[in-house]
């Protein structure tokens, strides 16, 4: 397997702090069996020698201004280098590298371009923000150091939320558990042995709020006059350091404050600090906080940026408002006067860092992201070109549908139809991910899903399923343009991709769980079928041993057709016959069922509980995703009742709603509806593409939302096509067109 070649581009690389430290940790710790990192610096710095010692190739671009003729010349050279080295991924740090490196990577045709954002953008001018709004389109992902940074970019730069991914900083906690002799270091620094040391480790920049730290110190010494205030950090602005020293002098703190300058051994320095303070006015996500917690020190920090994502208020430390020296002094005084509390918070902080912020956690997230996004890019490329011209035909069909959709919307017909509607519509989604191998039509890309959710948020009245059913039962009129959002099966990407967007736009939803797969951490039978054809390295699969046929797989398209053919054949088979056929297929394909395809992974119960905490409701989709009318009533009752029992047992919430697997008219009948009712459910949903106006609560209709329903001929979201496709889906269902083939 070829290594993934990653070019990291950064503005400067001269001191081990912030972005530079993160980059160094990433490139030195990536799995060298799978990745080949290279670093390019716009302006090379002192730390490049450390890269060389770790066998990391590095390039000095020597670009002082990215808007210059010299930068253009060097950009062309970098494009040639990228092509010669066959770079798979480019990751940029800082504004200069984002603008220069991002554009160069795009011009070079790099498959995957990622921007790494480390702060809240406090230095950005309006021109930078406007340019980011343009160039963000070329980034496949924007990796942020905290959720606070992610939200800031979303709001300030109008970046698509699906592109934003938080990967918190990680640190090597083992380095902070080494015991050193604090007495010796105190002596070297001129600190009295019995002094309580309150330390701030941060570069001497105004954004770090040192002024408020010193103002708080002047209040603290009134109660604890022997307290020592240790200030560690370098500065690029000597005038600012002079300003801080003048503040110390004016506050009468000269005998209490020690400036250490730049510190290269943070674990040793933290050994002498009793209380760690960060007084930042604005903070993306602080390494200092993580380092202090790892060293077992309680933290007092300002509640700014990503700090609340690290510090647990009252558990690992205290948070105070920015620029509030009185509140800062109060929290520190409380800790100075309570040794046991300091120890308790320090221990809690150390455990938290070990559990959530180890370096390897960060590296694993990044490696998984690189690998998964590249697979998606390759799948998309493979799926675009076929020998029989089907791509061209599909493009033409989408062009016609988009035009019809625009005519439907802008003629005013859609407005009249929506105004005249007295019922509510339910939308059903399945998977939200980037996989382009989607023969069963179950996937929406995260970008498409976000566009659709935003459109619903702005043009419809999204209400919970429970609310819609209550309106119906009470005979009340529904809110205008009422819609309900649901998800079938319970895929993990409902949590990783859909859930953040539902929270961001404030849209409620319900998820129907295929309980056996969630309970066992396995996969659904039709996903096993799809993954077998997707991942096999064989040119043909012979299934005649289980009364099926031989499938020849010379092309991407033939694999897709084979998966559809077998899934459609098996879905109405008995469970025993189906399970035998799937097991035979897995063995024949050579697929490892113990390592399920990521896109087929299911929710965990912990994820379910977290989503419940934000108002997402959960219902049952049966145990095994078997069509209930294909089995004896006793087995159907087990599917309905046992799934309800397990959901209640695992979550503590009794599920009220059921969704019939497959969901067409033939897939449930009066007997099945009676079983659902008898097991205590209040409503059940089909996948019949119609609205809900007076029908039974146990045969609620839903529109299955697909990429075809939402996409224009260019592949982007089309609101007009969505409006007309809802009506088309209903007509298509009534006439049983073959295209409606969702499992």
Encode pLDDT of 573-599 as tens digits. Answer: 888 899 999 999 999 998 876 666 667
Angle, CA of 198, 202 and 205, to the nearest 5°:
125
End position of a domain, from candidates 576, 594, 612: 594
Question: Once rounded to an integer, what is the mean pLDDT over residues 177-206?
Answer: 87
The DSSP secondary-structure symbol of 307 reads G
Helix pair angle (339-356, 325-336), 10° resolution: 110
- E strands present in 454-582: 461-462, 482-489, 510-513, 540-542, 550-552
The token pair at 313 is 């208020």
Say which range, 333-347, 368-382, 647-661, has the weakest mean pLDDT: 368-382
C-alpha span between 164 and 116 (Å, rounded): 10
Q: Is residue 280 part of a domain?
A: yes
Residues 20 and 65 in one domain: yes
One-character DSSP codes across 662-728:
S-SGGG--HHHHHHHHHTT-SEEE----S-BSS--TTSB--EE--HHHHB-TTSSB-HHHHHHHHHH
The token pair at 571 is 């879905």
Query: Per-residue confidence at 235, pLDDT binned at 50, 70, 90?
Result: confident
Nearest to residue 202, comparing CAs of 281, 272, 305?
281
Q: Are strands 317-320 and 617-620 parallel, antiparallel or unpaired?
A: unpaired
Which residues, listed in sequence order, are joined to residue 171 by a DSSP beta bridge? 358
Q: Is residue 77 part of a domain?
A: yes
C-alpha span between 510 and 115 (Å, rounded): 33
Sequence-ordered alpha helix ranges (H) in 295-427: 325-336, 339-356, 359-384, 390-410, 413-420
Query: Per-residue confidence at 549, pLDDT binned at 50, 70, 90?
Result: confident
Q: Could you identify the residue written with the tokens 């640190």?
A: 171
Nearest to residue 585, comparing CAs of 545, 539, 557, 552?
545
Residues 277 and 290 in one domain: yes
C-alpha span between 668 and 685 (Å, rounded): 10
Contact of 661 with 742, CB cutoff 8 Å = no
Contact of 299 with 321, CB cutoff 8 Å = no
Question: Once rounded to an integer, what is the mean pLDDT over residues 464-474?
Answer: 90
Q: Could you identify the residue written with the tokens 């609340």?
A: 308
Contact of 159 with 168, CB cutoff 8 Å = no
Residues 240-292: tens digit of each pLDDT: 999 999 999 999 999 999 999 888 788 999 999 999 999 999 899 999 999 99
pTM over the 0.95 mark: no
Residues 564 and 531 in one domain: yes
C-alpha span between 708 and 458 (Å, rounded): 21
End position of a domain, from candidates 575, 594, 613: 594
Query: Per-residue confidence at 729, pLDDT binned at 50, 70, 90?
Result: low
Q: Could you identify the residue written with the tokens 């006067």?
A: 337
Helix pair angle (719-734, 413-420), 10° resolution: 60
24 burial via Cβ count (<10 Å: 0-12, 13-18, 19+) = buried
Contact of 156 with 150, CB cutoff 8 Å = no
Residues 155 and 177 in one domain: no
Q: How many CB atoms lie within 10 A of CB 360?
A: 10
Question: Up-side HSE of residue 105: CA atoms within 13 Å toward CB?
Answer: 29
Contact of 209 with 279, CB cutoff 8 Å = yes
Q: Is residue 625 part of a domain?
A: no
The DSSP secondary-structure symbol of 163 reads G
Q: Higher model confidence: residue 480 or residue 399?
A: 480
C-alpha span between 712 and 142 (Å, rounded): 25
Q: Is residue 468 part of a domain?
A: no
Check residue 162 and give its pLDDT.
80
261 burial via Cβ count (<10 Å: 0-12, 13-18, 19+) = exposed
Residues 228 and 365 in one domain: no
C-alpha span between 542 and 551 (Å, rounded): 6
Q: Which domain holds residue 204?
A: 173-356
Q: How many CB atoms lie within 10 A of CB 559?
A: 23
Check residue 13 and give its pLDDT.
79
Q: Higher model confidence: residue 544 or residue 733?
A: 544
The DSSP secondary-structure symbol of 326 reads H
Say which range, 148-162, 223-237, 385-399, has the weakest mean pLDDT: 385-399
**What's the length of the chain?**
743
Q: Higher model confidence: residue 679 or residue 384?
A: 679
Residues 204 and 348 in one domain: yes
Which residues, listed in sequence order, are joined to residue 660 by a DSSP beta bridge? none
Residues 209 and 125 in one domain: no
Residues 139 and 262 in one domain: no
Residues 396-428: tens digit of each pLDDT: 555 555 565 556 555 655 555 454 446 789 999
State whether residue 554 is helix, strand or coil.
coil
Say which range, 83-97, 371-385, 591-605, 632-646, has the weakest mean pLDDT: 371-385
State whether residue 248 is helix, strand or coil.
helix
Angle, CA of 100, 285 and 219, to the nearest 5°:
130
Q: What are phi and psi of 108, to 5 degrees?
A: -80, -5
Q: Is residue 497 part of a domain?
A: no
Query: Per-residue confidence at 733, pLDDT binned at 50, 70, 90?
Result: very low
Contact of 486 with 685, CB cutoff 8 Å = yes
Angle, CA of 97, 92 and 383, to the nearest 5°:
125
Which residues, listed in sequence order, are joined to residue 441 by a DSSP beta bridge? none
Q: Would you report the helix, strand and coil content of the chain in percent, each value rounded to 5?
A: 50, 15, 35
Residues 156 and 53 in one domain: yes
Residues 692-701: tens digit of each pLDDT: 877 789 999 9
Total domains, the chain:
3
Say which range, 34-48, 73-87, 220-234, 365-379, has the weakest mean pLDDT: 365-379
Q: What are phi and psi of 463, to 5 degrees?
A: -125, 155
C-alpha span between 313 and 248 (Å, rounded): 29
The token pair at 492 is 């993990």
One-character DSSP codes across 274-302:
SEEEE--SS-S--HHHHHHHHTT--EEEE
Residues 214 and 141 in one domain: no
Residues 631-673: tens digit of each pLDDT: 999 999 999 999 999 999 999 999 999 999 999 888 999 999 9
State whether residue 626 is helix, strand or coil.
coil
Check residue 376 and give its pLDDT.
59
Q: Is residue 211 part of a domain?
A: yes
Q: Is residue 261 part of a domain?
A: yes
Q: What are phi and psi of 170, to 5 degrees?
A: -125, 150
C-alpha span between 237 and 210 (Å, rounded): 14
End position of a domain, from candidates 369, 403, 432: 369
R_g of the chain, CA atoms, integer Å = 30
The token pair at 274 is 């009793």
Contact of 378 with 693, CB cutoff 8 Å = no
Is 2's pLDDT higher than 60?
yes
Which residues, listed in sequence order, are joined to residue 197 by a DSSP beta bridge? 228
Q: Is residue 401 part of a domain?
A: no
Residues 203 and 342 in one domain: yes
Is 730's pLDDT higher than 60?
no
Contact of 424 with 691, CB cutoff 8 Å = yes
**How high is the mean pLDDT of the chain?**
88
The CATH number that applies at residue 192 is: 3.40.50.2000
Q: What percent of the chain lies above the pLDDT cut of 70?
A: 90
Q: How many CB atoms lie within 10 A of CB 154?
A: 17
Residues 59 and 117 in one domain: yes
């Amino acid at each position: 397997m070829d290594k993934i070649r990653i070019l990291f581009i950064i503005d400067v690389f001269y001191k081990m702090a912030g972005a530079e430290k993160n980059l160094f940790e990433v490139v030195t710790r990536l799995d060298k069996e799978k990745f080949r990192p290279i670093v390019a610096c716009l302006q090379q710095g002192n730390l490049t020698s450390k890269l060389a010692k770790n066998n990391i190739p590095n390039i000095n671009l020597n670009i002082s201004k990215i808007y210059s003729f010299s930068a253009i010349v060097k950009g062309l050279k970098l494009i040639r280098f990228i092509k010669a080295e066959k770079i798979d991924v480019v990751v940029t740090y800082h504004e200069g590298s984002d603008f220069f490196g991002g554009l160069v990577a795009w011009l070079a045709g790099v498959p995957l371009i990622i921007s790494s954002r480390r702060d809240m953008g406090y230095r950005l001018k309006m021109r930078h923000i406007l340019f980011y709004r343009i160039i963000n389109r070329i980034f496949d992902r924007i990796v942020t150091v905290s959720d606070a940074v992610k939200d800031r970019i979303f709001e300030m730069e109008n970046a698509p939320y699906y592109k934003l991914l938080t990967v918190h900083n990680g640190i090597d906690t083992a380095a902070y558990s080494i015991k050193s002799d604090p007495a010796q270091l105190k002596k070297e620094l001129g600190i009295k042995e019995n002094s309580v040391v309150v330390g701030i480790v941060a570069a001497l920049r105004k954004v770090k709020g040192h002024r408020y730290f010193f103002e708080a110190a002047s209040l603290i010494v009134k109660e604890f006059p022997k307290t020592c205030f240790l200030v560690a950090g370098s500065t690029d602005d000597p005038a600012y350091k002079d300003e801080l020293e003048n503040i110390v002098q004016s506050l009468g703190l000269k005998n209490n404050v020690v400036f250490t300058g730049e510190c290269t051994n943070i674990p040793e320095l933290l050994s002498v600090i009793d209380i760690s303070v960060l007084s930042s006015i604005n903070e993306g996500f602080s390494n200092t906080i993580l380092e202090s917690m790892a060293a077992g020190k309680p933290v007092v920090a300002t509640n700014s940026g990503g700090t609340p994502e690290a510090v647990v208020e009252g558990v690992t430390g205290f948070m105070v408002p920015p620029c509030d020296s009185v509140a800062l002094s109060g929290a520190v005084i409380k800790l100075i006067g309570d040794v046991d509390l300091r120890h308790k918070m320090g221990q809690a902080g150390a455990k938290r860092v070990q559990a959530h912020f180890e370096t390897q956690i960060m590296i694993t997230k990044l490696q998984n992201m690189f690998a998964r996004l590249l697979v998606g890019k390759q799948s998309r490329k493979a799926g675009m070109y076929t020998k029989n011209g089907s791509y061209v035909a599909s493009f033409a069909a989408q062009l016609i549908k988009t035009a019809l959709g625009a005519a439907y919307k802008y003629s005013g017909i859609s407005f009249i139809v929506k105004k005249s509607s007295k019922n509510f519509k339910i939308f059903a989604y399945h998977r939200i991910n980037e996989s382009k191998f989607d023969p069963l039509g179950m996937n929406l890309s995260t970008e498409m899903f976000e566009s659709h959710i935003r459109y619903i948020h702005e043009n419809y009245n999204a209400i919970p399923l429970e609310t819609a059913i209550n309106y119906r039962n009470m005979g009340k009129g529904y809110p205008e343009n009422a819609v309900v959002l649901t998800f079938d099966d319970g895929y993990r990407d409902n949590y990783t991709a859909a859930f953040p967007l539902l929270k961001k736009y404030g849209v409620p939803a319900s998820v129907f769980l295929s309980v056996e797969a969630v309970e066992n951490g396995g996969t659904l039978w039709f996903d096993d079928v799809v993954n077998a054809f997707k991942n096999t390295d064989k040119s043909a699969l012979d299934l005649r041993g289980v009364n099926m046929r031989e499938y020849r797989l010379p092309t991407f398209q033939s694999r897709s057709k084979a998966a559809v053919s077998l899934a459609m054949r098996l879905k109405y088979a008995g469970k025993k016959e189906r399970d035998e056929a799937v097991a035979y297929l897995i063995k024949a394909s050579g697929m490892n069922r113990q390592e399920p395809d990521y896109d087929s992974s299911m929710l965990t119960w912990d994820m379910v509980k977290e989503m419940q905490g934000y108002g997402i409701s959960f219902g049952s989709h049966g145990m095994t995703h078997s069509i209930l009318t294909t089995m004896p009533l006793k087995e159907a009752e087990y599917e309905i009742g046992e799934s309800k029992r397990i959901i209640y047992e695992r979550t503590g919430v009794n599920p009220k709603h059921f969704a019939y697997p497959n969901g067409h008219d033939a897939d449930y009948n009066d007997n099945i509806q009676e079983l659902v009712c008898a097991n205590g459910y209040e409503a059940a949903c089909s996948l019949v593409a119609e609205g809900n106006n007076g029908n039974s609560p146990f045969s609620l209709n839903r529109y299955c939302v697909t990429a075809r329903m939402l996409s224009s001929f260019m592949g982007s979201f089309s609101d007009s096509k969505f409006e007309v496709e809802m009506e088309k889906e209903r007509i298509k269902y009534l006439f049983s067109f073959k295209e409606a083939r969702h499992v």
